[in-house]
Chain A
Amino acid sequence: MDALLSIKDLKVANGGRQVLDGFSLTVGAGQIHVLMGPNGSGKTTLASVLAGREGYEVNGGSVTFNGADLLVLLPEERARKGLFLGFQHPVEIPGLANATFLREAYNTLHEGEDELDAADFLAMARRLLQEVELSDAFLSRGLNQGFSGGEKKRNEMLQLLLFKPRLAILDEIDSGLDVDGLRLIAKLIVRRRNEGASFLIISHNPQLLRYVAPDAIHVLYGGRLVVSGGADIAETIAERGYEWLGNAHDQERQGAVALAGSVGNG
């Protein structure tokens, strides 16, 4: 299977600190990869660099997305190529109606196709709102304005369903959600995967991982992948935390990196 996203030996500094120090990962089409790691290990940095947020210094390595160099593109160009970032903390934009925003973004992302007229768009948006279990009222409210944590996450999922990206990076999509919300989101992820979409999910939540049955779980530690493997890793981390990785990091550094490199193509 061809790799959709291929990260090779990526090095990223932020504010003088080397956050990622030789990070490699390959995600194939239709795969779900999970990235775990202690706070400050660089998970959000990775997501931000992939989406093109300013303020990070890439000082080594490469990222290709669908065969093209990702790092030279503007954030909107990456989005238009099918890369979606589900934000850990979606911003609030007061006054910008959710519906206006969704429609404008939809038409931009589906440029070249016939623009949906307002009525068709509304019908589609309403259907998707039901799927993410939000009421119609959310269309006329300001973008994320005054939404609860869970509502913001559902609104991110709504966009995922609407824009149909090839690769979605979901940064702590489960935070702020109750059990039902979690199950719903997992269901939607699996459905999109079955339609051929790929996922890179940043999460600590073993519950979510059980629901989505990822192809691989990776642990980021000290700026690199130290362990990659199956569901057992998540269980071990749930039991023992991340500390034991300190040793793994030192002793099995070479091996782990080799393992990480191989999983995506497996």
Chain B
Amino acid sequence: MAEQAIEEILKREYAAGFVTDIEADRLPPGLDENVIREISARKQEPGFMLERRLESYRYWTTLQPPQWAHFPHPEVDFQAITYYSAPRRKQGPQSLEDVDPRLLETYEKLGIPLHERAALAGVAVDAVFDSVSVATTFKERLAAAGVIFCPMSEAIRQHGELVQRYLGSVVPHTDNFYAALNSAVFSDGSFVYIPKGVKCPMELSTYFRINEAKTGQFERTLIIADEGASVSYLEGCTAPMRDENQLHAAVVELVALQDASIRYATVQNWYPGDEQGRGGIYNFVTKRGECRGRNSHISWTQVETGSAITWKYPSCVLLGDDSVGEFYSIATTRHHQRADTGTKMIHLGRNTRSTIVSKGISADTSSQVYRGLVRMAPGATGAKNHTQCDSLLIGPVAASHTFPTIQVGEVTAQVEHEATTSRIAEDQLFYLRQRGLSAEQAVQMIVAGFCRQVVQKLPLEFAVEANRLLAVTLEGAVG
């Protein structure tokens, strides 16, 4: 009976799978130096940016795609992908009134109203559609506080100095294959700068949407919290249902200076592919934050429900003394989804602390990997890490793998790691059903309970939305 309930839940469809019919201004598929020059030209970038792109591209051509992930995937044909696609629009500065109503409608349908009067109170949104940002809300109000929140392409033109100083300083283009590719072709993304001592007055949010077929999305996000600043940021993503796989290779860099704090939450709901495993997004992402200053704080929270393949490890480099890194994650997979995710906590500074809580739920024939690294470098005196990593399996052929690595070279450091793997216990289901709950309700409640510790970490402003989304994704993925 439990199986039936799970069956029911698994049949739910992907709600964000529609396509927006809008003319696109796109480059032909394929990648060479000309394409990169063209992307840079269309974005009217200063020279330094083009040079960086070309350097990254030349480096990328020397690399082979990495093979170490724990899933088989067909080789990505990098010449078949379109690297730039933007909804056609009028020239000149864009205000919300100028945004194509079809785009507004798209975001409306996704539950992200962009009109400021209708928008979620207290949340500023940057909406990225394929390769470009189409709208950013509440810019003026943020500017009054000195906060810069704008599309990356705009930041490159208008805040060149900040971009030059920080872009690539956490994830250099030499970091890995997909980071090199992103550094060469990235099209848009969000840029956030919180000046000294400013507590960002609103939640910031970027919503990524892939619409065009055969298009890759290579977004680049950079968040800088200057001394004593703090910000909370949420990222959401969806894509239409398509039969072919699409590549999403983002790079996210966070920099927290002394006494600064960054909370970064992701609700990732890319199209996961159908029951047979056709289609879906390849989500190959590099996310890393650096606690550069003393007493700084970076916290990653992720709810990963989508993508055919997820391959990412939001990490923290704890350089400043007394800095804190956190990673809270829920990953749910079903059908043929594969998720290889986890985190790295690199402790370099004294008295640095990190916490890792990872909850994985794999259903059907899906498979999940938690892969983590906790490293206590010599000199990270008094550093501490606590890791808890639990997996729930639903269905006899669901798979769950755990590959944590702990490296300790500091005699005063302490590391603790706990992990469990199990399925929903029959007696838990029976207990809830004895209290009148249906098997389906019971499964959802148990899974929700399993995830609670992480859901609680999402920003308060998104609590309702996140709970609703989690309920949907639990339905969509039970969990």
Contacts and interface: CB of A to CB of B under 8 A. Distances in A.
The answer to whether A and B touch directly, with their CB atoms under 8 angstroms apart, is: yes
Nearest to B438: A76
A76 B446 contact: no
Interface string A22-57: 000000000000000000000000000001111000
Interface stretch (A60-68, A103-111, A120-128): A103-111
Nearest to A105: B435
B441 A108 contact: yes
Contacts of B448: 95-96
A192 B351 CA distance: 58
Interface residues of B, number: 24
Contact of B452 (A53, A78, A97, A159): A97
B75 interface: no
The residue among B427, B434, B439, B449 with the most chain A CB atoms within 10 A of its own CB is B434
Interface string B438-456: 1101000110111111000
B433 A76 contact: yes
A76 B234 CA distance: 39
A95 B435 contact: no
A93 B434 CA distance: 14
A159 B431 CA distance: 12
A168 to B, nearest CB: 11
The residue among B1, B435, B439, B450 with the most chain A CB atoms within 10 A of its own CB is B435
Interface stretch (A3-11, A83-91, A223-231, A253-261): A83-91
A142 interface: yes
Contact of B441 (A85, A87, A104): A104
Given A54-B426, A104-B441, A105-B437, A94 B450 contact: yes
The residue among B439, B448, B449, B452 with the most chain A CB atoms within 10 A of its own CB is B449
B71 interface: no
The residue among A87, A95, A143 with the most chain B CB atoms within 10 A of its own CB is A95
A107 to B, nearest CB: 9
Contacts of B449: 93-97, 142-143
Interface string A193-221: 00000000000000000000000000000
Contacts of B446: 93, 96
Contacts of A18: none
B6 to A, nearest CB: 15
Nearest to B454: A95
Interface in B404-454: 425-428, 430-439, 441, 445-446, 448-453
A95 B445 CA distance: 9
- State which size class the interface on A falls in: 20 to 34
A175 interface: no
B58 to A, nearest CB: 50
A84 B1 CA distance: 20
A108 B450 CA distance: 22
A89 to B, nearest CB: 8
B425 A79 contact: no
A104 B445 contact: yes
A8 B15 CA distance: 51
Contact of A101 (B427, B432, B433, B451): B432
B450 A101 contact: no
B453 A109 contact: no
Contacts of B434: 51-52, 75-76, 78-79, 84-85, 87
Contacts of A78: 434
Contacts of A87: 431, 434
A42 to B, nearest CB: 18
A104 B449 CA distance: 13
B78 to A, nearest CB: 43
Contact of A159 (B433, B435, B451): B435
A109 B436 contact: yes
A91 B428 contact: yes
The residue among B430, B439, B451 with the most chain A CB atoms within 10 A of its own CB is B430
B457 to A, nearest CB: 13
B432 A95 contact: no
Nearest to B446: A93
B453 A79 contact: no
29 contacts: A53-B430, A54-B1, A54-B426, A75-B430, A75-B434, A79-B433, A79-B435, A79-B436, A84-B434, A93-B431, A93-B446, A93-B449, A95-B448, A95-B449, A95-B450, A95-B452, A96-B446, A96-B449, A96-B452, A97-B449, A101-B432, A104-B441, A104-B445, A108-B435, A108-B436, A108-B438, A142-B449, A142-B452, A159-B435
Given A108-B438, A163-B435, 17 more contacts: A51-B430, A74-B433, A76-B433, A85-B434, A87-B431, A91-B431, A93-B432, A95-B453, A100-B445, A101-B432, A101-B435, A104-B437, A104-B441, A105-B432, A105-B437, A108-B441, A109-B435
